[in-house]
Chains A and B, each alone.
Chain A
Amino acid sequence: MDQIKMGNFMSELRKEKGFTQKDIGDKLGITDNSVSKWERGINAPDIYYLGPLSEILGVTIKELLNGERKRKKKVKKENQKPVLEIQNVSKKFGSKEIIHNLSLTIYKGEIVGLIGPNGAGKTTLIKTILGLYKASNGTISICNFDIKKEFEKAMEKVASIVESPNLYEHLTAYQNVRITCLLNGITDMKYVKNILKMVKLNNRLQDKVKHYSLGMKQRLAFALALIKKPELLILDEPTNGLDPLGMKELREIILKACETMGVSVLISSHILSEIEMVCNKIMILDNGYLIDIFELDEIESREHSLEEEFLKITSGTKNQIGGDV
């Protein structure tokens, strides 16, 4: 990271916005002298100020760290329809803020990978999107339905597998399917059979789920998610515990689902190679901040891999911890 370049960029953006150094200092609760040091490249802002600062200046954290704006890619017309919009969402547990003022949008047809180190807040963010956690502030909309005001309509549009397959293990797979159909008002049995065929479980429906292998449970969970006919599918660590064959099967199911049903997907995972094979957009989360969003083909045009890019970005943000104010 080039502190001088970053400082110049900061100064440029500040002036664009019409703020003084004192204005920035007041907004961040620091002195104008500290802001001045940043702009002169003497010091770099601490990680905790990066998020609010980038927001004030109207750029991403990565752009701020790099000292330059990214060239915006032309968005295709069919991607205009957002399936997920998160605006200024924070989540606190007690006095500890886990998600910091996060904003992002996922459009129809996108397969988005959400990556970040352990404790970055990925699962917390996913649970907040799904309403399992109540957001401390901000708004979350799924297919233009605010989850606070129109929760039921929002949930009709989304399906998820969070952390592990959530199945009634004392019941048969068929009973699990029946419950899902009942709760989601699905009556088209032909469609259901096709989904079960797609996940290759149509011959094991009368077995109790507790007798399934992990791979089979994952496939069943996936089938139950698709039975809902969602517009957005959220998967949190879907390949956890799976062998390579299981991972491959799941990957194929995800891609087929996106292709045939036009489902947008948000996948959270540690396994970057899997993300690379499935996703077309990457979001990087670290310490509750959305560090960067980029299309996957941006990386492909560079010399380094997604892993290298990820490590570069997260270690860059880590360098800000303990930075002088």
Chain B
Amino acid sequence: MKFVNLIKAEFIKNYSVKKSYIVLITLLATIIGMMELEAKLSKPRLYNIQNEIEEYTKFLEHELDTYHSPFLNEYETYRNETKLKILKEFANEKIYSNSWKDYLLFQIETIEDKIFIINQMVENYGNSFFTDIGVSDAHQFDFYEGTVREYYGKTKEELVREIENLKEQATNYRAFLKQNQYYKYLEYQIKHDKNFDVDGEYQFLVDKKIENMFDSLSLNQLEMHVGIGINGEYYTAAIKEVDRKADLILHYSFWNDKKHDFSFPEGTVDSYLVYPTAKTVTNKIVLLSLLVLLIVIFTSGGVIVNEHIHKTEKMLFTTPYKRWKILFGKFVYLILDMFMIWFLAFVILLFYAGIKYGFGELLTAKLIVEGDQVAEVNYLFYLLKEILLCSIPMISFISCFCFISVVTLSKTVTIGFSIILLLVSQFMWFLIVTFKLGFLIYTPFPYFILGLILRNHSYYLLAQSIGTTSASYGILISILTIIACCGMSYIIYTKRDIGN
């Protein structure tokens, strides 16, 4: 009871209605501002087909290129006319740039071109023009010659069958595109293309059922970025594990028609390809720990130092409390302050996500991987668990902050140094990977924002190639930091003579 009075006294000293308003306004402005900015940046661009038609028409008013071969000239004319025809065919469709529809549109054009070329090969079967291309081993990146080489050597009947297959494919693609049949498109690809990588596509599968979603991912880019791709040199066990879990969750959500919130590690997918949902927005609560700690520093940064500056230490240290209890009371106050601000941030985020993207989604289950199985857990409880996990490194930061206060007894130095420490911790994984500062993995600094680990920050994953670390390891280091900082603060605070 006596100790509770100490905490109450700290609240009277450091909390005011004015401060509450400042905290609330800061949280509202920052959270809503950040989310709106992200939503705006991830908004896809609509493919302006009308504009494309106008420009292409102007282009075709000029003379086309001519080639030495009549087959090529014929193809050139057909290609340009077909492209314009296809553009006009889909002029009224809503197609986003770099979307699956954009890709399909390109595929339809490609298929029509292929059909024409194969038709030429059938009608002029055995012609030396095609033989010359077919047997040549020179590197050729030209589409025409590439297609000829692909089908050279097949019999006439085989070529005719291929034309029929391609026509059927084009018809199907047209249907998928016009009827927005993304599921059917995927099923078709799985059935017909053994090399087709559907993993990344599952992310958006269930989302298609939500009206405010849009199609924003192209297969090629997804294949490039997820998995081995251009990041092959950094492909470590950690990234493999992330991919394994992503694969399990995506398959589960696809086959069970469940909404998931698994987002790819930052940096593995271009930012404009990631779109916000209610869950992806509320997931960011673990990343808001930086904002929460900054607010705590600014609003309660003088909790320890102010007693020295305003000379109230003399009164405080002659109350019936040992000095270590007084210091501990201030430490507990800072932790409670942190939790209050974080809880407020959580509530704001929940309401924003719910109002913008629907509260219903927040009541759906969270999909997590346990071993080799996918389990469904209560989403809000899961978030609260993550918040509690992230709070341990935050408490370790506060213990560092208290230690700096006790040592320096200067508000400017304490707040300034703490802000720098906090902001640098945001980029700590980047520093570890880029400058090979592996020793930092064994310090508490990279773990202050544990959310970066929980959300599989790409540089955290890359750092696994330098030294093995994890969220559990981070929590252990945080606990040791709390003990060390509290111990050192105790020694300095209790032994110090209180001077003038």
Chain A residues within 8 Å of B, Cβ to Cβ: 93, 127, 130-134, 151-153, 155-156, 158-160, 162-164, 166-169, 171, 175, 178-179, 182-185, 224
If over half of A's interface residues share one DSSP class (helix, strand or loop), that class is named, otherwise mixed; here it is mixed
Are A183 and B317 in contact, CB atoms less than 8 angstroms apart?
no
B contact residues around A184 at 8 Å (CB) = 319-320
A contact residues around B500 at 8 Å (CB) = 163
Q: Given the complex of chains A and B, what is the CA–CA distance between A152 and B497 in angstroms?
A: 18
Are A166 and B495 in contact, CB atoms less than 8 angstroms apart?
no
Are B498 and A182 in contact, CB atoms less than 8 angstroms apart?
no
Contacts A134-B495, A171-B13 supplied; 11 other A-B pairs, CB < 8 Å: A93-B497, A127-B498, A132-B314, A152-B320, A155-B318, A155-B320, A163-B311, A168-B310, A171-B12, A184-B320, A185-B320
Residue of B8, B310, B314, B322 near A182 (CB, 8 A) is B8
Q: Given the complex of chains A and B, what is the CA–CA distance between A155 and B317 in angstroms?
A: 9
Q: Can you give 19 contacting A-B residue pairs, CB < 8 Å?
A: A93-B497, A127-B497, A132-B317, A134-B495, A155-B318, A158-B318, A160-B314, A160-B318, A166-B311, A166-B314, A166-B315, A168-B310, A168-B312, A171-B13, A175-B12, A178-B12, A183-B5, A183-B319, A183-B320
B3-41 vs A, Cβ < 8 Å mask (1 yes, 0 no)? 001101100110000000000000000000000000000
Residue of A130, A133, A153 near B320 (CB, 8 A) is A153
Does B321 lie at the interface of the complex (its beta carbon under 8 Å from any beta carbon of A)?
yes
Residue of B9, B311, B313, B314 near A183 (CB, 8 A) is B9
* CB within 8 Å for A156 and B12 given contacts A163-B500, A164-B311, A166-B311: no
Q: Given the complex of chains A and B, what is the CA–CA distance between A93 and B322 in angstroms?
A: 23
Q: Given the complex of chains A and B, what is the CA–CA distance between A160 and B311 in angstroms?
A: 14
Does B62 lie at the interface of the complex (its beta carbon under 8 Å from any beta carbon of A)?
no
B contact residues around A130 at 8 Å (CB) = 314, 317-318
Q: Given the complex of chains A and B, what is the CA–CA distance between A173 and B312 in angstroms?
A: 14
A-B residue pairs, 10 tightest by C-beta: A166-B315, A132-B498, A182-B5, A155-B320, A152-B320, A183-B319, A156-B320, A133-B497, A182-B9, A179-B9
Residue of A131, A171, A178, A182 near B318 (CB, 8 A) is A131
Q: Given the complex of chains A and B, what is the CA–CA distance between A158 and B320 in angstroms?
A: 9
Does B2 lie at the interface of the complex (its beta carbon under 8 Å from any beta carbon of A)?
yes
CB distance from A176 to the nearest CB of B (A): 9
CB distance from B319 to the nearest CB of A (A): 4
Chain B residues within 8 Å of A, Cβ to Cβ: 2, 5-6, 8-9, 12-13, 310-322, 495, 497-498, 500
Are B321 and A183 in contact, CB atoms less than 8 angstroms apart?
yes
Are A134 and B497 in contact, CB atoms less than 8 angstroms apart?
yes
A contact residues around B8 at 8 Å (CB) = 182
Q: Given the complex of chains A and B, what is the CA–CA distance between A151 and B321 in angstroms?
A: 8
A contact residues around B319 at 8 Å (CB) = 155, 183-184
Q: Given the complex of chains A and B, what is the CA–CA distance between A163 and B314 in angstroms?
A: 9
Nearest chain-A residue to B1 (Cβ)? A185
Total cross-chain contacts (CB, 8 A): 75
B contact residues around A166 at 8 Å (CB) = 311-316
A contact residues around B316 at 8 Å (CB) = 166, 183
Are B497 and A179 in contact, CB atoms less than 8 angstroms apart?
no
Are B312 and A167 in contact, CB atoms less than 8 angstroms apart?
yes
CB distance from A103 to the nearest CB of B (A): 22
Q: Given the complex of chains A and B, what is the CA–CA distance between A175 and B322 in angstroms?
A: 22
Are B498 and A133 in contact, CB atoms less than 8 angstroms apart?
yes
Are A131 and B317 in contact, CB atoms less than 8 angstroms apart?
yes
A contact residues around B2 at 8 Å (CB) = 185
Residue of B13, B318, B321 near A132 (CB, 8 A) is B318
A contact residues around B6 at 8 Å (CB) = 182-183
B contact residues around A171 at 8 Å (CB) = 12-13
Are B318 and A169 in contact, CB atoms less than 8 angstroms apart?
no
Q: Given the complex of chains A and B, what is the CA–CA distance between A8 and B356 in angstroms?
A: 99
CB distance from A192 to the nearest CB of B (A): 15
Q: Given the complex of chains A and B, what is the CA–CA distance between A132 and B318 in angstroms?
A: 8
Q: Given the complex of chains A and B, what is the CA–CA distance between A171 and B315 in angstroms?
A: 15
Q: Given the complex of chains A and B, what is the CA–CA distance between A167 and B310 in angstroms?
A: 8
B contact residues around A179 at 8 Å (CB) = 9, 12-13
Q: Given the complex of chains A and B, what is the CA–CA distance between A169 and B315 in angstroms?
A: 13
Q: Given the complex of chains A and B, what is the CA–CA distance between A168 and B302 in angstroms?
A: 13
Q: Given the complex of chains A and B, what is the CA–CA distance between A166 and B500 in angstroms?
A: 12
B contact residues around A162 at 8 Å (CB) = 314
CB distance from B85 to the nearest CB of A (A): 77
Most buried by B among A152, A175, A178, A179: A179
A contact residues around B497 at 8 Å (CB) = 93, 127, 132-134
Q: Given the complex of chains A and B, what is the CA–CA distance between A282 and B403 in angstroms?
A: 44
Q: Given the complex of chains A and B, what is the CA–CA distance between A224 and B316 in angstroms?
A: 12
Q: Given the complex of chains A and B, what is the CA–CA distance between A310 and B496 in angstroms?
A: 34
Q: Given the complex of chains A and B, what is the CA–CA distance between A153 and B2 in angstroms?
A: 13
A contact residues around B322 at 8 Å (CB) = 151-152
Q: Given the complex of chains A and B, what is the CA–CA distance between A164 and B500 in angstroms?
A: 10
B contact residues around A178 at 8 Å (CB) = 12
Nearest chain-A residue to B318 (Cβ)? A130
Nearest chain-A residue to B312 (Cβ)? A166
CB distance from B4 to the nearest CB of A (A): 9
CB distance from B279 to the nearest CB of A (A): 43
Most buried by A among B8, B9, B312, B318: B318
CB distance from A208 to the nearest CB of B (A): 11
B contact residues around A132 at 8 Å (CB) = 313-314, 317-318, 497-498
A contact residues around B310 at 8 Å (CB) = 168-169
A contact residues around B13 at 8 Å (CB) = 168, 171, 179
Q: Given the complex of chains A and B, what is the CA–CA distance between A166 and B320 in angstroms?
A: 16
A contact residues around B495 at 8 Å (CB) = 134
CB distance from B498 to the nearest CB of A (A): 4
Q: Given the complex of chains A and B, what is the CA–CA distance between A151 and B494 in angstroms?
A: 12
B contact residues around A160 at 8 Å (CB) = 314, 318
Nearest chain-B residue to A183 (Cβ)? B319
Q: Given the complex of chains A and B, what is the CA–CA distance between A274 and B127 in angstroms?
A: 126
Q: Given the complex of chains A and B, what is the CA–CA distance between A178 and B317 in angstroms?
A: 17
A contact residues around B320 at 8 Å (CB) = 152-153, 155-156, 183-185
B contact residues around A182 at 8 Å (CB) = 5-6, 8-9, 12
A contact residues around B9 at 8 Å (CB) = 179, 182-183
Q: Given the complex of chains A and B, what is the CA–CA distance between A127 and B311 in angstroms?
A: 14
Nearest chain-A residue to B6 (Cβ)? A183
Q: Given the complex of chains A and B, what is the CA–CA distance between A127 and B495 in angstroms?
A: 14
Are A152 and B498 in contact, CB atoms less than 8 angstroms apart?
no
Q: Given the complex of chains A and B, what is the CA–CA distance between A313 and B498 in angstroms?
A: 31
Most buried by B among A155, A159, A166, A167: A166
Q: Given the complex of chains A and B, what is the CA–CA distance between A133 and B497 in angstroms?
A: 5
Q: Given the complex of chains A and B, what is the CA–CA distance between A132 and B494 in angstroms?
A: 10
Nearest chain-B residue to A155 (Cβ)? B320
Q: Given the complex of chains A and B, what is the CA–CA distance between A134 and B498 in angstroms?
A: 9
B contact residues around A224 at 8 Å (CB) = 315
CB distance from B411 to the nearest CB of A (A): 14
CB distance from B363 to the nearest CB of A (A): 43
Nearest chain-A residue to B326 (Cβ)? A183
A contact residues around B318 at 8 Å (CB) = 130-132, 155, 158-160
CB distance from A170 to the nearest CB of B (A): 8
CB distance from A224 to the nearest CB of B (A): 8
Q: Given the complex of chains A and B, what is the CA–CA distance between A175 and B435 in angstroms?
A: 52
Most buried by A among B12, B315, B316: B315
CB distance from B405 to the nearest CB of A (A): 18
B contact residues around A153 at 8 Å (CB) = 320
B contact residues around A158 at 8 Å (CB) = 318
